[in-house]
Structure 1
Amino acid sequence: MPNEPIQLPLLPLRGLLVFPSMVLHLDVGRDKSVAALEKAMMDDQIIFLAAQKKVSIDDPETSDIYHVGTTAKVNQMIKLPNGTLRVLVEGLDRAQIIRYVEDEDEFLVEVEKLEDIQGDPHEEEALMRSLLSQFEEYIKISKKITQETLNTVTDIGEPGRLADIITSHLSLKVKEKQELLEMLDIKERLQHLVKLISNEQKVLDLEKKIGQRVKNSMEKTQKEYYLREQLKAIQKELGEKEGKTGEVGQLREEVEQSDMPEHIKEVALKELGRYEKVPQSSAESSVIRNYLDWLLALPWTKRTRDTIEIPTAEKILDEDHYGLEKVKERILEYLAVQKLTKSIKGPILCLVGPPGVGKTSLAKSIARSINRNFVRISLGGVRDEAEIRGHRRTYIGAMPGRIIQGMKKAETINPVFLLDEIDKMSNDFRGDPSSAMLEVLDPEQNVNFSDHFIEETYDLSNVLFVATANYVNNIPGPLLDRMELISIPGYTEVEKLHIAKEHLLPKQLKENGLKKGNMQVRDDALLKLIRRYTREAGVRNLERQLATLCRKTAKIIISEEKKRVIVTEKSIEDLLGKPVYRYGMKEQEDQVGAATGLAYTSAGGDTLSIEVSHYRGKGKLTLTGKLGDVMQESAQAAFSYIRSRAEELRIEPDFHEKYDIHIHVPEGATPKDGPSAGITMATALVSALTGRAVKREVAMTGEITLRGRVLPIGGLKEKSLSAHRAGISTIIIPEENIKDIDDIPESVRNGLTFVPVSHLDQVLKQALVEEENEDN
C-alpha cells in the first residue's frame, strides 16, 4: 500500500546532500530557505531537504532542484550574529516531490515517502562484508576518516542504512551521491557503492604517489631546516655557545640553580625540552619562552625576615599617621597575635573609609613596621575573571593574573599585598572576579592557588593581605565574610590641623622647591583653609590647597624678590580667592521656633538649623529642605508626640485643626537624612507653638519615638567638633551616648557641657528659655 502524500516546507541544499539517519549542522541564509525553516518550526519541525542541480544558482527554480530527497527533523535552531540561521537536522526517510504547492515566498511541496526494495538476504550480507572490507582499506589510505567511524559503521546490521552512512563519509560529488539516494534497490545500491569506493582507492593511490614525489623533492625551507640542525651540531662539537643551543643551556642552568620546588623544576625542564625542539621562527617558541621567564621570575622560597616589634611598629604608625587611634590599636593587636602564633593565617584586614583618609598609606606603614616588601594592585573596574586567575596559554597575548604579577613585583613570598578598591570590582559575561578572589583570601585554599597561565599551584599562605574599600555595601557577601572590617570615618579639624602642619606642608614645601624659612602658615590660616576651602573626610583636597599656597608663594618670592611669606587668616583670601564653603554658627540671640541640631556627613560634622512657623489653616504639615524619608518620618513622630502631650506642654489641644505648620531646614539644595534630628524638630515645634524661645548656646542631637523617648545616634565626635567650632557651649545628647564622650579630643571636650537625656521632657527643660525669664 503506497504512503499517503504529506505537505512539507522544502529547503534546497547547495553542494550538500543529506541521507536518512545522518545528523549534521546547516547554515541557512536565503530568504526562502529561512521562511521554510520558520514554517517547519511552527508546525512539527519536519522539513524536506533536496539538493540543487547546480551550486552556482542563488535563487533556484523548481526545475533546478532534484525531485528525490530526504525528510528531516530540525532538532535545534540558533540565530548567528551575521543574520544567518544555524540548524541541526536529522535525516529520517527518502521521499520524492509529487508536486509544488507554493514557490513564491517559500517552497512548499507535497512529498511521498519511498521504501527500500529488499533483495536476497545472503547476497546483501556478502555485499555488506565486501563493502566493509573496501571501506576499511579506503580509511587506511585516505587518513581523513577516524578509526572510531569504522567501528561505528561495523556495528550497523541493516544493509540500506550501512550504504547510506558510508556514502555520507565519502568525498563524492553531489551528483554521484544523488544517484545513490535515488537507488531504492538495496542490492543495486551496495554494488554501485563498492564500485565507487574501488575507484576512489585508485585515485588515492595516485595522490599518495604524487605526494611521495613532492616529499622527495626537498623545498628551500626544508633545506634551511636541515642546514640549521647541522650548524647546531657543529657548534656543539666546537663548544660554541652561539644560537639557540647556548640559550637553552643557559636557561637549563638557571632552572637548576633556582629555588623552585622539585615538581615545578620538572615542569620547567619539560617545557625547556619542548622549546629546544620547536623552530625559532615558530609562534609556539615565544609562548614557551615567556612561560619559562615567568617561572624563573616568580619567588618560590625567598622571603624577608619578619621583625614584629610592637613598640617599633607603634612608633612607625605614629610617625606616618596622626590620630586614628582605634585603627592603629587594632593593627597593633593584629601584629601581636601574629608574633605570638608565628603564623600569618587569620582574618584579612579591610580598611573602609572615604577617599583621602590614608587607607593605602596605612598599608604601607604596616609593611614598613614589620620589615616586609609592599605591593599594591588596583581592583577598580576589574570585570574579567582572567584579571585575577590569568589567561590560559592557548590564547594570543596570554598573561598571568594580577595576583601572580603582584608576587613577581614583590620578589618575596611573604609581602604585604594591598588589594586596593576591592568594592569596585564588578561582574559581567566575562566572569565574576569577586568569586575568584575568594580563593585568594581564604587561608584554607590559598595554599594551592591556581593561576590559569602558570597552571601549577602557587602558595599564597605567607602573604599578608590588606584590602581597602570606600563602601561596605558594594563588597559581595562571601568576600566580606573572609575579611575583618576596620572603619576609618575621617579626620577631625584638630587632626587635620596637625596633619597639615606635620606632614602635608613640609612635603609640599619640598616638592615646590621651597625651604622651611621661605613660608610660614599660621594656625588660624590653616583652620580657615580647612573650614572654608575644603569639605572632605580625608585630607586629599587639603593637600591640593596647600600645594596651591606653595606655588603662589614661590611666584611671590621670585617676582617680588621676597625671602619670606607669612600666610595669615586675612592674607589667605588674597592667595586662594574667596572662601568656597561656609559652616554653621550659633544664633546671635534666643529664637522662637528655631533650634540648632547637629548633623554628621561624609565630610565630618556640621550644625543644622531647623525652623518652624505656624499660621491659621486646617492642620496641614509641610516639610521642606530636601529631606530624606527617615527625616520626614522623624518630623511626623515629633508632631504626633506633641499632639498627644498638648495639654501638659501648655499648647492649645486643637492646634492641629486651627493652624498649618511649616518645618524647614535651610540649604535646600543639600540632601539631608537620618533620625538624629528628631528631638531638634520637636523642640522647634514646641517653641513655635508655645512662644518660648530656644537658648542660642544649646545644640542637640537624638532620635525621638512616639512616646517621647530619646534614642542613641552615631558620629558624636564629629558633631561635637562642629558644635565647638560654631561657638555652642551646651550639647544635649542621648543618655546611651555617654560612652562616646571619651572619643572626643580633650581640647574640645573641656570647652563643651554635655547634657545626657532619655526623654523629650528633659530636652525641653534644658533647651527652652524659662517662662519667668521671658516675663521679665
Structure 2
Amino acid sequence: MRRALPLLPLRGVIVFPYTVIHLDVGRERSVSAIEAAMLGDRVIFLAMQKEAQDDDPGEDDIYTTGTIAEIKQLLKLPGGTIRILVEGIRRGEIKEYISHDPFLKVEVEEAPEPTETSPEIEALMRCLIDEFETYVKMAKKIPPETVVAVVSLEEPGRLADVVASHLNLKLTDKQAVLEAVDIKTRLNILCDILAKEKEILELERKISLRVRKQMEKAQKEYYLREQIKAIQKELGEKDDRVAEAEELRERIAKARLPKEIRERALKEVERLEKMPPMVAEVAVVRNYLDWILALPWHKQTRDRLDIKVAEEILDEDHYGLKEVKERILEYLAIRQLAKKMRGPILCFVGPPGVGKTSLAKSIARALQRKFVRISLGGTRDEAEIRGHRRTYVGALPGRIIQGMKQAGTKNPVFLLDEIDKLSSDFRGDPASALLEVLDPEQNYMFSDHYIEAPFDLSKVMFITTANVEYSIPRPLLDRMEVIRIPGYTEEEKVKIAELHLLPKQLEEHGLKKEQLEVSENALRRIVREYTREAGVRNLEREIATICRKTARDIVSGKTKAVKVTANNVEQYLGIPRFHHTQAIRNEMVGVVNGLAWTEVGGEVLNVEVSILKGKGNLTLTGKLGDVMKESAYAGFSYLRSRAAELGLEEDFHEKFDLHIHVPEGAIPKDGPSAGITMATAMASALKGVPVRSDLAMTGEITLRGRVLPVGGIKEKILAAHREGIKNIILPRENEKNLEDIPANIKRKMNFILVEHMDEVLKEALGNN
C-alpha cells in the first residue's frame, strides 16, 4: 500500500515502530511538514539524515527506509521550536519525492509486518530475550520493569524493534535493524549486536576491577589514567612509562656520555620506570636526565689558530690595549705548538667603560668559540655557583653548569663579570666555590651539587673582570693572571670615538655617514669638557645624544645633514659640564696638587692646610679614610722632628692648630698616596711659602721621611696630563712603572723621582 506523507528528516535519532518518543523540531521545512500533517490525519514519515550536520538535506542525503508515525501531541516552544510526541506505527520505504517546497512530501510504501512463526523464529526470540536480560544485568542502565515488558512480548517483529530502541547502539547499526524487514534477519542482527556488546561490557568489567585494585578512593584523575593504561594493555599498545624509558635509553646511547655518567643515567631511567606516574619525584628524575643529556660532555668547537686573523679582529674591535692583545696572541701561538694546553684564566682589572666585557667577546670571535657571560655582582649564595642538591624543591644546577649548557660546547670563552663584587652570608661563600672553577689543577673535575658527577672545565677559557683588585679575595686572585686596563688617554679616546663609537651610534640611530659628521676637534672637546672618566662609556652617551638630536632635525625637515665642530658642540650637548679646574693654577700657601687613584681612574685632588692659633691639634676633614689619616699624622710627626732643619719654630706644635682639608667632602677618600702631599702642604703653611702650581705629587711617607712607592701610577699620570700638569713627583721605586706610560705622553711630562721628603720639599718649595 502506498500513501503520500510529509517527510520529517531526523538528525542523530531513529524512531522504531511501537516506540513513543519526543522530538524537537526547528527547521522551517520540518515545521511546515508537521503543520501539514496536523491538518490531515496526523501521520508523518520519519527518516534519518545520513549527515547530521546538513541543515538542508536533499533526496540523496536521507535514508529511504524510515518509520510511519502518528503525532500524538504538539507543543510550541519559545523561539519558534516545536516539540512533538510521536508513536511509530510501521516501517516504510520512500518510493518517490512528490514535492520539496514548502516541505518534503514523499510517496511511501508501507512494509507489512510479518506475523509468521516457526521453531527457528521461536529459538531466535528466546536467544534475543536471554541476551537482552544478560545485557541489562551487565550494563545496569535499563530499568528492570523494561525487561519485564520486553519479555512479555510475543510478536517477534515488535520484540525486535522494542529491544533495538532500548540499546545504546551506533546509528548505522540501528538503521540496519530498521531496514531489516525480514523477521529472521532482524532477530539475527540483534543477537549478533548483543553478543558483541556483552563482550565489550565484560572487558570493561575486567578493566574496572584491575584498575580499582591499583587506586585509592576519591582519586578520580588517577583512576582515569589507570583506566587508559589498562585499555592500552588490552589492545597491545605500549605503556607511556615504558615508551619514555626506551626513548631515554636511546638518547643516552647517542649522547656518548662518559662511562660513569652513562651508568648513573641508566640507573635513574630504571628508577623512573618503577615509579608511579603521580609521584612528585618523577619530575625531579626527568629534569635531572634532561640536564645530563643537554650538557656538552664531548662536543667542542675547533679553535681558529691563525694569529694574523686574530690580531686583525682584535685591532678592528679595540684601539690600544697592547698588553691584552699580546697575551691573547701568545696563547694562540702556544696552542699551535701544544695541542693539549689548558685554558688560561685571565682577570681584566680596570675602571668602568674601558672595554673589559667587549674585549672578552672579541677574544671569543677571534678564536671562533662560543661566548657565555654571567654576572657575579651581588652573588652571595654558594649554590649559585655549585647548584642545589636534588633533595631541595626546585633544585637547579649552578650558574657554571647552566652556562655550559647555554654554550653547547665544552670549550667556550666564559666571562665571569664583576668578580670583585662577590659577597657572602650564612648561605656560604661563593668565592670559595669559585676556587675549584678557576684552579687549572682542579677544574677538570668540577663537581656540581645537582649533577653529582665531575664535569671537565679545563678546556674553557675563563675570563674575569673587576673594577678594583683589592676587593678580589686573595685565594681567588692567586689563581688568575691579572691584566690591568688602566684607562685611555685623550688621544686614545678620540681615536676610539672616531673608529668605533661614532659608527656604532650612527648605525643604531639609522643615520648615514653623510648625514652626520663630527670633527676630530669636536670629539676632543667632548672628551675634555663633557666627560671625566677613565673609560669611554659617557663619551658614547654624549655621541648618542648628538645622534638623537640630528635624527630629530632630519626627520622634522630642518636639515638634511649636520656637521658638528668644536664651535657648535654646545648646541647639541649644552653648557660644558667639566672644566680643568681641579688643579691649582696659581701658587698658593698651603695648597698642593695631589694625585689619587679611584675606581673610575686617576684624579687630581687638592690638599689644603690652614694654620690656626691653638695647642697643636691636627684636624682632618674631607671624609678621609683611616690610611689617609695615618699618613697625615706621620707627616705631622716628621715635620716636628725636622723643625730646625726645615726652618720651622721648634714649638710650633704648641702654638698652632693645623686643619687639613681635601675638597669634595661628600666623596670618600682613602689610600697611602697622599702622604707626601699632606706633609708638603703642612710645611708650606707653616713656612708661609707657596707651592709650585705646575707640580703634582704622589707617594707615602714614613716617620723618618722616606718616600715609599704607591700604586696606580699610570692612571695618576693620565689624570695629571688631562689637567695640563707637566711636573710630577714620584717615589723612585715607582720608576719601573713609567714603562707603561704611552710614549707621546711621556715625552711631554717631567718626572721627578725622589727617595726622601727633603727632596720633595726642595722641589715643591724651592730653597725657601
Aligned to 2:611: 614
Deviations 1:272-307, CA, capped at 9 Å, x for gaps: 455556566654554444333333322221111223
CA distance in 2 between counterparts of 1:585 and 1:442 reads: 44
Other structure's SS at 2:594 match: strand
CA distance in 2 between counterparts of 1:217 and 1:747 reads: 85
Aligned to 1:521: 518
Structure 1 residue 552: Cα displacement: 1.9
Higher mean alpha-carbon deviation, 214-223 vs 610-619, is at 214-223
Aligned to 1:725: 722
Q: Is the 8 A contact 1:605 1:722 kept in 2?
A: yes
Aligned to 2:415: 418
CA distance in 1 between counterparts of 2:387 and 2:585 reads: 65
**TM, length-normalised to structure 1:** 0.63
**TM, length-normalised to structure 2:** 0.64
CA distance in 2 between counterparts of 1:582 and 1:217 reads: 82
Q: Is the 8 A contact 1:491 1:604 kept in 2?
A: no
User: Which one of 672, 677, 695 corresponds to residue 675 of structure 1?
Assistant: 672
Alignment CA distance shift 1:230-1:541 (3 Å): same
Deviations 1:473-495, CA, capped at 9 Å, x for gaps: 54444444433333333333333
Q: Is the 8 A contact 1:351 1:468 kept in 2?
A: yes
Structure 1 residue 508: Cα displacement: 1.4
Aligned to 1:225: 226
| 2:765 is the alignment partner of 1:768 | yes
Q: Is the 8 A contact 2:585 2:694 kept in 1?
A: no
Aligned to 1:665: 662
Q: Is the 8 A contact 1:621 1:660 kept in 2?
A: yes
Aligned to 1:254: 251
1:320-359 counterparts in 2 under 5 A? 320-345=317-342, 348-359=345-356
Structure 1 residue 709: Cα displacement: 3.0
Q: Is the 8 A contact 1:583 1:607 kept in 2?
A: no
Aligned to 1:557: 554
CA distance in 2 between counterparts of 1:712 and 1:416 reads: 36
Other structure's SS at 1:498 match: helix
Aligned to 2:371: 374
Q: Is the 8 A contact 2:468 2:599 kept in 1?
A: no
What letter corresponds to residue 314 of structure 1 in structure 2? E
Aligned to 1:544: 541
Aligned to 1:319: 316
Aligned to 1:436: 433
Other structure's SS at 2:315 match: helix
Q: Is the 8 A contact 1:692 1:769 kept in 2?
A: no
1:74-93 counterparts in 2 under 5 A? none
What letter corresponds to residue 231 of structure 1 in structure 2? Q
What letter corresponds to residue 592 of structure 2 in structure 1? A
Other structure's SS at 1:699 match: strand
1:401-480 counterparts in 2 under 5 A? 401-480=398-477
What letter corresponds to residue 379 of structure 1 in structure 2? L
Aligned to 1:120: none
Alignment CA distance shift 1:229-1:583 (3 Å): farther
Other structure's SS at 1:556 match: helix
What letter corresponds to residue 545 of structure 1 in structure 2? E
Alignment CA distance shift 1:491-1:229 (3 Å): farther
CA distance in 2 between counterparts of 1:693 and 1:268 reads: 79
Alignment CA distance shift 1:509-1:233 (3 Å): farther
Structure 1 residue 345: Cα displacement: 3.1
CA distance in 1 between counterparts of 2:671 and 2:216 reads: 85
Alignment CA distance shift 1:534-1:251 (3 Å): same
Aligned to 2:574: 577
Other structure's SS at 2:458 match: coil
User: Which one of 704, 707, 710 corresponds to residue 707 of structure 2?
Assistant: 710
Alignment CA distance shift 1:413-1:585 (3 Å): closer
Other structure's SS at 1:296 match: helix
CA distance in 1 between counterparts of 2:566 and 2:360 reads: 35
CA distance in 2 between counterparts of 1:393 and 1:633 reads: 52
CA distance in 2 between counterparts of 1:592 and 1:602 reads: 30
Q: Which has the larger radius of gyration?
A: 2
Deviations 1:425-466, CA, capped at 9 Å, x for gaps: 444444444443333334444333333443443333322222
User: Which one of 626, 631, 635 corresponds to residue 628 of structure 2?
Assistant: 631
Q: Is the 8 A contact 2:614 2:654 kept in 1?
A: yes
1:124-203 counterparts in 2 under 5 A? none
User: Which one of 723, 745, 749 corresponds to residue 748 of structure 1?
Assistant: 745
* Number of equivalenced pairs: 557
Aligned to 2:360: 363
Alignment CA distance shift 1:307-1:619 (3 Å): same
What letter corresponds to residue 734 of structure 1 in structure 2? P
Structure 1 residue 510: Cα displacement: 0.9
CA distance in 2 between counterparts of 1:335 and 1:680 reads: 45
CA distance in 1 between counterparts of 2:322 and 2:436 reads: 32
Q: Is the 8 A contact 1:350 1:469 kept in 2?
A: yes
User: Which one of 492, 498, 508 corresponds to residue 495 of structure 1?
Assistant: 492
Aligned to 1:506: 503
Structure 1 residue 374: Cα displacement: 1.6
Other structure's SS at 1:500 match: helix
CA distance in 2 between counterparts of 1:245 and 1:216 reads: 18
CA distance in 2 between counterparts of 1:474 and 1:733 reads: 25
CA distance in 1 between counterparts of 2:557 and 2:215 reads: 88
Higher mean alpha-carbon deviation, 747-756 vs 249-258, is at 249-258
CA distance in 2 between counterparts of 1:465 and 1:436 reads: 15
Other structure's SS at 1:355 match: coil
CA distance in 2 between counterparts of 1:703 and 1:373 reads: 46
Alignment CA distance shift 1:343-1:592 (3 Å): same
Q: Is the 8 A contact 1:304 1:412 kept in 2?
A: yes
Structure 1 residue 507: Cα displacement: 1.1
CA distance in 2 between counterparts of 1:603 and 1:583 reads: 17
Q: Is the 8 A contact 1:611 1:665 kept in 2?
A: yes
Structure 1 residue 505: Cα displacement: 1.9
Structure 1 residue 754: Cα displacement: 2.0
Identity between Structure 1 and Structure 2 (%): 61
Aligned to 2:639: 642
CA distance in 2 between counterparts of 1:383 and 1:470 reads: 18
Higher mean alpha-carbon deviation, 749-758 vs 587-596, is at 587-596
Q: Is the 8 A contact 1:235 1:242 kept in 2?
A: no
Alignment CA distance shift 1:282-1:648 (3 Å): closer
CA distance in 1 between counterparts of 2:756 and 2:216 reads: 102
Structure 1 residue 550: Cα displacement: 1.6
What letter corresponds to residue 710 of structure 1 in structure 2? V
Q: Is the 8 A contact 1:347 1:482 kept in 2?
A: no
Q: Is the 8 A contact 2:232 2:239 kept in 1?
A: no
Q: Is the 8 A contact 1:492 1:718 kept in 2?
A: no
CA distance in 2 between counterparts of 1:616 and 1:485 reads: 50
What letter corresponds to residue 696 of structure 1 in structure 2? S
Q: Is the 8 A contact 2:467 2:599 kept in 1?
A: no
Give the CA RMSD over aligned residues. 3.7
Structure 1 residue 357: Cα displacement: 2.9
Structure 1 residue 511: Cα displacement: 0.8
Q: Is the 8 A contact 2:343 2:458 kept in 1?
A: no
Alignment CA distance shift 1:432-1:723 (3 Å): closer
What letter corresponds to residue 411 of structure 1 in structure 2? G
Aligned to 2:565: 568
CA distance in 1 between counterparts of 2:223 and 2:631 reads: 88
CA distance in 2 between counterparts of 1:564 and 1:756 reads: 52
| 2:735 is the alignment partner of 1:738 | yes
Alignment CA distance shift 1:235-1:677 (3 Å): same
Q: Is the 8 A contact 1:344 1:464 kept in 2?
A: no
Other structure's SS at 1:676 match: helix
| 2:600 is the alignment partner of 1:603 | yes
CA distance in 2 between counterparts of 1:686 and 1:453 reads: 64
Other structure's SS at 1:363 match: helix
CA distance in 1 between counterparts of 2:339 and 2:539 reads: 41
